[in-house]
Chain A
Amino acid sequence: MKRIMKSEKHTLTMLVDNEPGVLSRVVGLFSGRGFNIDSLCVAETMDPKVSRITIVTQANQPLLEQIEKQLRKLINVIKLRDMSDDSSVRREMALICVQARPENRDEILRLVNLFRAKVIDVASNCYTIEASGDEDKMKALIGLLRPMGIKKIARTGTVALFREPKRGI
């Protein structure tokens, strides 16, 4: 019966009632039951009564099942979906303030182009870069910028959407 289960990253998104305290119910569930949160994103949807919460968590299969069931049990959770595989698209965003010494500037701009990012602020000795992409892309960009000296970074969590069917494509 016992199988060794691998713990993997999962992106769960849920539609919830847009009411005070709902986020606290969701987050409280995670802390109260010792589930982990890698990242969290919340915002209103097109329907102002409904918000979308996206949580990235680490869990093996039985734990993931338990997390999903516990979330569905919350009265304010309308719908929940695991958006971890190819049937969904996932993106995150970061603002990265990187040291821009004269000898680095070209390299930074090259990377910015390569990663389809943007320089959105230029100061005397640093650039602030806006970048978005999936987790791997963000990791790669940050990895390449790190040696030049990242002064500050602000990252969002992951947001995700289910891919709509592609009829006739």
Chain B
Amino acid sequence: MELTGAQILMEILKEEGVDTIFGFPGGAVIDLYDELIRSELRHILVRHEQGAVHAADGYARASGKVGVCLVTSGPGATNTVTGIATAYMDSIPMVIVTGQVSAHLIGNDAFQEVDIVGITRPCTKHNYLVNRVQDLARTLKEAFFIARSGRPGPVLVDIPKNLGLAKTDYQPIPPVSIKSYNPTYLPNMKQIRKALALLKTAKRPVIFGGGGVILSKASQELSTLAHALRIPVTTSLMGLGAFPGSDPLWLGMLGMHGTYRANMAISNCDLLIAVGVRFDDRVTGKTDCFADQAKIVHIDIDPTSIRKNIPVAVPVVGDCRQSLIALNRMITEEGLVASDEQRQEWLDQVLLWRKQHKLAYEQTAEVIKPQYVIEKLYKLTRGEAIITTEVGQNQMWSAQFYHFDRPQQFLTSGGLGTMGFGLPAAIGAQVAYPEQTVVDIAGDGSIQMNIQEMATAVQYKLPVKVVILNNRCLGMVRQWQQLFYDKRYAHTLFEHAPDFVKLAEAFGAHGLRATRPDEVEATLARGLAIKGPVIMDFVVESEECVYPMVPAGKPITDMLLV
């Protein structure tokens, strides 16, 4: 069958099960767009290419499918870089299609030419410049295969303009395999046996889950393990939702802004089962002191994650889900159970830590506390909303005060910490789940980074709710300056801000504001009830800090507490 490059792109997207893409047109992709409007694919026209990538990312995080975007060459392509790096750090499966100048012009500094393959080499799982239309189908298939297999990640495919209308004989591509790319899914049973042996003798075990548990859909298996042997569970920011936040074995998040009991449990455990994590410095604090009484079992599909930051006793390379299935099966076969007395002692200790220092804040009658807004939001949404966040205090308070019971419910830029992620990501999640409540918990700083996407939400009737915790400053940086720089607030206080209510209205959305604590609940209730997109501006205490806090580079037991 003779097809053009543009037709081949649509064909492959269909074959790969893509129904929605996020994008922004331009000269280099005009032929692709011309074909797109003739296809059945849904296209969401964003207002900035960064928004397209974050939206595709939010779509992927919420649904587990590959997120796809389409942008033009040059500035269109460079605008995607932050979004790509964000997805790369958090291992989100995405395919980014960029237009490129026509093949004969490449290298000439042609109009809107940029070497996007060169630029994104270190922040994609893999990337391609397609030279010939004959290679397009195969390349696109490989891109999807690489994006979703193994440790997932973004893959960029750069398509020169002249390929759009170039014709070639198209034959459906058989399932892709790549000689030099063979992720290990099934764990080595010897390693699983070693892990089991450690579980048999452990007195104070802890499970530490990460984003990998969510990506490999291993939450069920993680719970099975925890409950079978009554092991308390903590997760990284990326792992929130991998274990129910309402479960009695839940320790809360660990790390820089982790709970007291999670950080204490990690520091006192004798066995740490780490699943789908990469021991980020925001988690470990000073690495020498991290879990220094524990033998560590580390399960991850990416061998480079293992022993990168932390030495481990039992490395297990494999898919988290497959590895936990194998471990759970062995536990059942051997009839392993936790000795009640011993385990009770450990769980009592954890409970004691919990009582000693709870996550806390004080809500007075005059000023709204940001944590209070999130607690009320949790209540009013019955803990069921899909929550996205921006970056900073808003993100940490969301992690602490909204409790996540299911995976793919909390979407946040963990690795890169990208301000401006939350709103477009919420749009993507809303596209994936039109019926669910999707809320972006935002700071007044971050929301201004991709606020233009409100227009996208309005145009496509995506009823995302933006909750701004408006502290009139770049709160998290201000917090560091308060605690470690003698309150020298170098350029973190906004002397001017937009009126977010009017701004919402200007976009054609609804705007609401609350300035007093007694208005919080009603404002949230009203906002959540509105059928369209809403910005809710909560004027909150500006000097509030996120606690506990472990100063960067300190052991995670060195917590500043409220």
Contact = CB atoms under 8 A, between A and B. Distances in A.
A66 B308 contact: yes
A75 B121 contact: no
A24 B311 contact: no
Interface centre among B117, B122, B125, B146 (most CB of A within 10 A): B122
A65 B126 CA distance: 22
Q: Is the interface of B mostly helix, strand, loop or mixed?
A: mixed
B121 A72 contact: no
Contact of A76 (B117, B180, B302): B180
Interface in A50-80: 62, 65-66, 69-70, 72-73, 75-79
A28 B302 CA distance: 20
A69 B122 contact: no
Contacts of A69: 303-304
A66 B307 contact: yes
B121 A66 contact: no
Interface residues of A, number: 22
Nearest to A3: B311
Interface centre among A1, A20, A25, A28 (most CB of B within 10 A): A1
A73 B308 contact: no
A31 to B, nearest CB: 9
B484 interface: no
A120 B145 CA distance: 53
A165 interface: no
Contacts of A28: 121-122
Interface string A73-94: 1011111000000000000000
Nearest to A2: B288
Interface in B343-389: none
Interface centre among B117, B121, B304, B308 (most CB of A within 10 A): B304
Given A24-B118, A28-B121, A77-B180, A62 B302 contact: no
B178 A75 contact: yes
Contacts of B118: 21, 24
Interface in B79-122: 117-118, 121-122
B122 A32 contact: yes
Interface string B210-247: 00000000000000000000000000000000000000
B190 interface: no
Contacts of B178: 75
Given A28-B122, A70-B304, A73-B302, A1 B311 contact: yes
Contacts, number: 39
Contacts of B126: 75
Given A24-B118, A28-B121, A32-B122, A17 B307 contact: no
B180 A75 contact: yes
A21 B121 contact: yes
A25 B121 contact: yes
Contact of A17 (B125, B146, B180, B302): B180
A142 B201 CA distance: 60
B496 interface: no
A25 B123 CA distance: 11
B126 to A, nearest CB: 5
Nearest to B150: A73
Contact of B304 (A21, A66, A76): A66
Nearest to B146: A75
Given A21-B121, A24-B121, A28-B121, A78 B179 contact: yes
A12 to B, nearest CB: 15
B146 A72 contact: no
Interface in B307-347: 307-308, 311
A124 to B, nearest CB: 43
Interface string A15-49: 00100110011001100100000000000000000
Interface string A125-145: 000000000000000000000
Interface string B271-313: 0000000000000000010000000000000111001100100
A148 to B, nearest CB: 45
Contacts of B311: 1, 62
A66 B307 CA distance: 8
Contacts of B125: 75
B122 A72 contact: no
A18 to B, nearest CB: 13
B303 A72 contact: yes
B304 A78 contact: no
Contacts of B122: 28-29, 32
Nearest to B181: A75
A89 B126 CA distance: 33
Given A28-B122, A65-B307, A70-B304, 8 more contacts: A62-B307, A72-B303, A73-B303, A75-B126, A75-B146, A75-B178, A75-B181, A78-B180
Interface of B: 117-118, 121-122, 125-126, 129, 146, 178-181, 288, 302-304, 307-308, 311
The 6 closest A-B pairs by CB, nearest first: A78-B180, A69-B304, A75-B126, A69-B303, A32-B122, A75-B181
10 contacts: A2-B288, A21-B117, A24-B118, A69-B303, A73-B302, A73-B303, A75-B125, A75-B180, A75-B181, A79-B180
